[in-house]
Amino acid sequence: MRNVLLSVVLFVATFVSANAQFYAGGSIGFENNSVMEPKLSLSVNPIVGFYISKKFDVGLDVGFATTRLQNDVESSIWSIGPYARYSFYQLGRFEVLVRGSFGFINVDGFINVDNPIGKSTNIRMDIRPILTYNLTEKIVLFTQLNCLSLAVAMINPENDDSHYHFRFGASNSLVNTSNLPIGFFYKF
């Protein structure tokens, strides 16, 4: 029985490594503003994933962000969650994808300048379009069109009742510092 199990594991590992194409990358965002809120914002969002087929891939997104308001109140956010992407249109080196994700987000401070809730734990599901450009065969630039996102989040503030948040657009993107973050990934 053990030999059969070992043979199956080796077969699956060989099949996955021969047919799946792994990728890694992410995006970095920085904002510094002397007049408007927020005063300073920095986010780092690494991603890893692999292609199941030419049009479908899955991966893991991790996010870290820190924000400081004009009155020096700070907030920190970290997130983690799996995602799936489907490519539905390609024109030359450009490709349009739709991404669905499910994530866990921990906020210490505020979510945005209008929502000072202290510490909270959030569970979020969202769908958003992505535009990619194949710079080379291995390097791909991408942008998430956060201004067109559709999101549902369950927000659970510390010492308060949980509530649900539904959003169309990017009035509150939680981890990204802009409505059009730009990143890259490298295909192995």
| Mean pLDDT computed over 151-179 | 59
| Mean pLDDT computed over 133-140 | 93
- What's the pLDDT tens digit per position in 114-129? 555 567 778 888 888 9
To the question of pTM greater than 0.85 for the whole model, the response is no
Q: Does residue 175 surpass a pLDDT of 50?
A: no
Cβ-contact 22, 185 below 8 angstroms:
no
Spatial neighbors of 10 by CB under 8 A, at least 6 apart, are: none
pLDDT class for 144, splitting at 50, 70, 90?
confident
- What's the pLDDT tens digit per position in 7-22? 555 554 555 555 568 9
- What's the pLDDT tens digit per position in 44-77? 899 999 999 999 999 999 999 888 777 777 888 8
Spatial neighbors of 167 by CB under 8 A, at least 6 apart, are: 149, 150, 151, 152, 153
Q: Which two tokens stand for residue 126?
A: 């969202």
Residue 173 DSSP label? -
| Mean pLDDT computed over 105-111 | 75
Please name each of the domains of the chain with its CATH number: 21-187 (2.40.160.20)
